[in-house]
Structure 1
Amino acid sequence: MNSLTIIARDSATGRVLEIIGDLDYATAPKLRKAVDGLTLTAGELLVLDLAELNYCDSSGISALLSARSLAIEQGSDVALAAVPANMLRILGIVGLDQVFTIHPDTTTATDHGSVAS
């Protein structure tokens, strides 16, 4: 059975969600639920830390896009941090490396500062 653990914490620029395990058809709803439960304020940055992501299919990518859409609706933005090389390649192939801000690690992402209004 695929498993997904999501650990939420605050940062200086907003919220960080650590996504650990497999993000796929079976587990993507868990990420959507976690993001739906967040209250972001305008200018905040939601960082999705993918350092411990083992696997991501198209359902997982869709959940990441949903997180971005929800954040934008609330006047915030989403950045991806520590994206595994295989997923970075896929994001590049489908052009999502132009949609998401991607940082090498969570520290860099949170040091980046809040989103300009």
Structure 2
Amino acid sequence: MTHRLFLLLPLLAAACAGRDAGSPAATLGCSGEVRLRNVGNMAVEQAFFSAAGPGNWGPDLLTAGDIPPGGDRAVMATPGRNAVRIVFANGRAAEMPAMDVCTTPTLSIAPTELIASR
């Protein structure tokens, strides 16, 4: 019996190591709150987060108004990995294909890039 347990331990360790950050176990305790920080010089008009991926954007999370340059706002996304789309006041958009909102809950929005961080 003891030998069987030792044979199973490497398999269990491999299964745990293979868990992805977007898995239900990894999102436990994560509310999905994301802090959007506009570090650019143009207002941000719209923000979309989609756990389903690009093209399935759903509702704009900035219905309460724009984020002015230097401003920030908290929004709620689905815990785990999300695609992100940000639309600026001039209509230009920036996208990020995958952001784990549980491990990097802050998104700095610059005119040429989106930067996820803690």
TM-score (norm 2): 0.29
Please tell me whether Structure 1 or Structure 2 has the larger radius of gyration of its CA atoms: 2
Higher strand share: 2
Higher helix share: 1
TM-score (norm 1): 0.29
